Amino acid sequence: MEPSLHEAARSGEVGFLRRMKDGDVSIDLLLQKTPKRNNILHIAVEFKQSSLFWATNEKGDTPLHVAARVGCDQVVKFLIEHTKEMLHVQEADEESRSTDNEAHKQLLQMTNLQRDTALHVASRYGHSGVVIQLMQANPELCCYTNSANESPLFIATSKGFRHIILHLLNESPICSSFQGINGVTALHAAATHTTKDSKGT
């Protein structure tokens, strides 16, 4: 790992993450390793630098958004698990644990400039493994709509990602939002895809 990257993670310097541009982000940056096989996020956890988990680039994307976009299940898992660990308050009282859980939820619910959560992003790019992890961590994500009024279910349906659609419909403990752009719902999008499929056969 480059010494400057190690120092940034150790000190909580988030400028290099903010400078990442959409499309230019390399997941390799997050996965660069030290000789002891620690990556930048391991170091941030060790030195309690939670700001790295919340840092956004000029598009408003957090590291979780970036990992969701490229479909890196390992990074998504790491972020979910270690966010809980980093936000964990050592005190055993119930009030502290409640605050801890709320902070963890807020990180998973963070939106970018288009008001996309990481679940919107994973649904758009067809990364079902990431969708499953995010839904397990916070099922409420399926209820959020972005600035275009698109829900994750609508996005997955309009793209024809069957596995994601079925997961959002069948595995969620709460009802997913069907909302979509310009008054079109996920049901409309599903009907359109069915019609297209029928004409093609």
Confidence grade of residue 158 (pLDDT, cut at 50, 70, 90): very high
Is the model's pLDDT at 80 over the cut of 90? no
What average pLDDT does the structure give for the chain? 77
Res 93: pLDDT: 44
Query: Does any domain span residue 49?
Result: yes
Domain hosting 66: range is: 1-110
Average pLDDT (8-34) is 58
Is the model's pLDDT at 31 over the cut of 70? no
Query: Does any domain span residue 18?
Result: yes
Tell me how many domains the chain contains: 2
Of 110, 135, 169, the residue at which a domain comes to its end is 110
Query: Does any domain span residue 116?
Result: no
Residues 155 and 194 in one domain: yes
Residues 4 and 102 in one domain: yes
Residues 63 and 30 in one domain: yes
Q: Are residues 4 and 47 in contact, defined by beta-carbon separation less than 8 angstroms?
A: no
Average pLDDT (53-78) is 87
Q: How far apart are CA 26 and CA 87, in angstroms?
A: 26
Residues 31 and 101 in one domain: yes
Res 92: pLDDT: 43
CATH number at residue 9: 1.25.40
Query: Does any domain span residue 197?
Result: yes
Residues 25 and 106 in one domain: yes
CB atoms within 10 A of CB 35: 6
pTM > 0.75: no
Res 201: pLDDT: 36
Highest mean pLDDT: which range of 52-56, 57-61, 132-136, 172-176: 132-136
Residues 135 and 45 in one domain: no
Q: Are residues 168 and 152 in contact, defined by beta-carbon separation less than 8 angstroms?
A: yes
Q: Are residues 41 and 51 in contact, defined by beta-carbon separation less than 8 angstroms?
A: no
Residues 8 and 79 in one domain: yes
